[in-house]
């Protein structure tokens, strides 16, 4: 099964099927690495051939972009750089502003923090319900024309919004959570991406650590963003860990790790899917990238499908407030509170 692990096309760029999501080096997950550890991880990623790095203005309220800016840019020609706007921080609080003025200002800040004059792929991180998507995309079209970004992406948006955006300017990528335990993209967005020639970037492809064996019955520590997500609390967590244990048995039978099975399953879904797992560990990064050489059988992939039906996982993907900030489709019967 070589096709799912072939290089991916994202707009004008060709990259490996697995890149690096950089969020948890500065934001959201705990424990957070010391700066020196984060810098070593990024340097190691370059050394082993990672060629797609994904950050955002939100992550660490700019700290993640600054980390990449001081760590990676001496090898700028070796990778595709992606960042995001609209969802950001002000006075230490998270907020959404998709106005053209805010997008333009955020882009200038991102360029400065990243220590570059051009970002390859720049996403609208979320849909601002108060601003027509056409206006937000228009601001990025002007940035393309000014040579400040190379391609436009969207994140956590619906197929309908994708089509509206694509009518203004070709969209290079749609980024959405996708793993065996979060399959909302299969409702409509994956097919829309295929129809329009849009790359699909899967974040949290190992189910926020659950399908890498990284979450136990104690859950996650207070302050970790996952602590606010219902799936990580009773009564949902014990059920979900039973699913993860069954998933681990499938991985063992296939001769790979849980993370590799989850990544391999995600990459098998469409030839235009790129996965961006995040990690603070060089050993885990090596494990993730080794997935590119693993041949999963049709029987193994079918076993994952049978285990993780849409209804299998217990609990909503997001708490109510976070769910209200995303535009992605839900499946019939999906719990939302």
Residue 32 DSSP class: P
Sign of the CA dihedral running 22, 23, 25, 26 = positive
Please, are residues 168 and 134 in contact by the beta-carbon 8 Å criterion?
Answer: yes
Q: Name the 3-class secondary structure at 256.
A: coil
What residues form DSSP beta bridges with 177?
A: 203
Structure tokens at 120: 């390859």
151/53 Cα distance (integer angstroms): 15
Q: How far is CA 192 from the centre of its chain?
A: 18
Please, are residues 268 and 4 in contact by the beta-carbon 8 Å criterion?
Answer: yes
Catalytic residue among 29, 59, 122, 178: 59
275/17 Cα distance (integer angstroms): 6
Catalytic residue check, 59: yes
**Category of 224 on φ-ψ map: left (φ > 0), alpha (ψ -120 to 50) or beta:** beta
Q: How far is CA 176 from CA 142, 179, 212, 275, 327, in A?
A: 25, 10, 19, 10, 10
Q: Which residues belong to the active site?
A: 59
């Amino acid at each position: 099964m070589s096709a799912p692990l072939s290089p991916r096309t994202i707009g004008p760029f060709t990259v490996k099927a697995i890149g690096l999501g950089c969020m948890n080096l500065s934001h959201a997950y705990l424990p957070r690495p010391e700066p020196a550890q984060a810098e070593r991880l990024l340097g190691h990623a370059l050394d082993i051939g990672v060629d797609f790095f994904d950050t955002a203005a939100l992550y660490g309220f700019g700290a993640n972009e600054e980390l990449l800016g001081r760590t990676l840019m001496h090898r700028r020609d070796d990778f595709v750089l992606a960042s995001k706007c609209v969802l950001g921080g002000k006075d230490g609080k998270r907020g959404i502003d998709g106005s053209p003025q805010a997008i333009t200002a955020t882009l200038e800040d991102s360029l400065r923090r990243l220590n570059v004059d051009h970002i390859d792929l720049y996403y609208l991180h979320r849909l601002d319900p108060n601003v027509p998507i056409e206006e937000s995309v228009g601001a990025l079209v002007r940035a393309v024309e000014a040579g400040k970004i190379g391609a436009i992406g969207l994140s956590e948006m619906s197929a309908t919004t994708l089509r509206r955006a694509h009518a203004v300017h070709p969209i290079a990528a749609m980024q959405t959570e996708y793993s065996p335990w979060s399959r909302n993209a299969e409702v409509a967005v994956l097919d829309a991406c295929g129809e329009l020639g849009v790359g699909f970037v899967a974040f949290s492809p190992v189910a926020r650590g659950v399908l890498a064996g990284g979450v136990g019955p104690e859950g996650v520590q207070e302050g970790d963003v996952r602590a606010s997500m219902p799936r990580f609390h009773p009564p949902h967590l014990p059920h979900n860990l039973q699913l993860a244990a069954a998933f681990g048995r499938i991985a063992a039978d296939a001769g790979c790790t849980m993370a590799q099975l989850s990544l391999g399953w995600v990459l098998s879904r469409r030839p235009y899917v790129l996965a961006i797992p995040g990690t603070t560990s060089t050993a885990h990064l090596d494990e993730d990238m080794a997935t590119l050489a693993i041949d999963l059988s049709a029987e193994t992939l079918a076993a994952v499908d049978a285990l993780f039906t849409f209804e299998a996982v217990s609990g909503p993907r997001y708490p109510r407030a976070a769910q209200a900030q995303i535009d992605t489709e839900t499946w019939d019967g999906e719990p939302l509170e």
